[in-house]
Structures are given as structure tokens and as C-alpha cells.
Structure 1
Amino acid sequence: MKKTPLLNIALSRVVASLGHGDVLMIVDAGMPVPPGVELIDLAVTHGIPDFASVLNTVLAEMQVESHVIAEEMHERRPPALAVLNELNTVGRLGEQRLISHEALKQLSRSARAIVRTGECQPYTNIALVAGVVF
């Protein structure tokens, strides 16, 4: 049995397979997933699981060098933005890059995988760029 909190087999496998610079996205229930990109669909119903819980669980196993969010997230201020700001303050997400929501959708085409949550707040999406532990 694993000692870390991440129990989902598919998600654990993807995190373990990431190399430096690879992108893993955690997204809300409405974010489109491009053809050919692996989808790990955790969504059960509205809000379950929520974005923050999935993000915090992934961060328990993934080394993050930087992250990308949509500028619209700062404009619309979904509840998850407070979580991201707190994680930024303690240095768990690395450098932040802001791009348009449309550009984030384009970036999703190059993601190793996209994790869909049950989050139903618009623009609650993040692209995590894998770092190294050495």
C-alpha cells in the first residue's frame, strides 16, 4: 500500500512517468480535452472532487518547477485562486505564468495528461510543469 495520499492508479502512474518540463493539467469539469491527450476523469458530480483537493494531493507526489494559469482566473477570482495564492506564497508551485484562456487550451494539446475534477467554477484550471528533485 502506498504511503503518500495519491491513491488513483492512473494519476499515480502519470506523475511517476513525468520528466523535467512535462505538463500535467488539473482542470474544471468544463475544460475541453484535446484528442490524443490522456484524460484522467475524476469528476463524480458538481464539486466532487474539488480542484483544491486534487491539486494538493498531486503536489504531495509531483515536483513542480512552474505553473500556468489563465489571466481570466485573476479577473473572475474563483475560490481556487485563494488556494493557488497560498501555495505560491509557500513556494509549492514555482514560477507563475499567465496566459489567455484560449492559449491555455492550446497548451493543453501538449500536456502528458489532463485530470478532470468535479470543479464547476469557470477558469479553475492549471498547467503544472514538472521539475526535478535534484
Structure 2
Amino acid sequence: MDIVAPVAVLVWVAVALLCIGAGLRRALRSERLRRAGVEAAGTIVESQFRSGVGGLVWFRPVVSFRTATGQRILARGPARRRAAFPRGAPVLIRYRPDKPTIIEIFDGPGEGPSPAGYLFTGALLLVVLVTLTATTA
């Protein structure tokens, strides 16, 4: 019995489920902030960076804004990209009133990727997997 084929199928399924899970997580987080979050205007004050796999560098925006009570907050946005975010760029955010460091940038350069992209990629991988396994069986 050839064990390579079942392992390859499991890898495809795992990647597809990770994509779908990431999309669902982002969609649920965004929906919670849309329903219960507070909107505010903010400014990107810096880009934090982290080295990734293979020496790639990823940047995340740090946003300064004031809460509805006037408290000044510095919060790291969830979006990541390979180029620094423009310092001083205005953004519109939503934050959790009980924990204002949890934010979502919904307008501006730090806007995160759409959950639909992750969901579509995961679904596409599953369709390709089903098609390939059906034609080889």
C-alpha cells in the first residue's frame, strides 16, 4: 500500500481547513466589532516588524486613537504586510469598549485582508482535492 497518497490528501485537507478556519475567525471577529465596537478616527504612528520564515519581514501597524471617554490608546492592528505602513496616515477603526487595544482598521492603509479570500481559498482547495481524488479512484 502506498502511504504517500493518503498523506498528501491529509496535507491538502489540513491546509484547506486552516484557510477556512482563518476566514471564519476573521469574519466572526469583524462581525463582533461591527455589532458591539465603537468607531474612532486614528493615526498610524509606527510599523512594528517581525522576522518570519525564510528571513521575510512582516509589518503590523500601530494606531493611536482616543476612546469615547478621551483615553489615548496605542493598539496594534491585526493586518500584516511585507512593507511598512505609512506613518501619519489617517485610519478609521473599531475597538472593543471593554478592551480598547483590540481593534480593526476598516478604512485606511492598515485595513486587513477580507475573510472571504481565506474562505474562498479553503473551499477551492477542497473542491480541487475532491476532483482529483474522484478522477484517480
TM-score of the alignment, normalized to the shorter chain, above 0.5: no
Higher strand share: 2
Question: Which bin holds the TM-score, normalised by the shorter protein?
Answer: under 0.3
TM-score by length of 2: 0.22
Larger proportion of helix: 2
- Which structure would you say has the larger RCO, counting Cα contacts within 8 Å and 6 or more residues apart? 1
In our comparison, the structure showing a higher alpha carbon Rg is 2
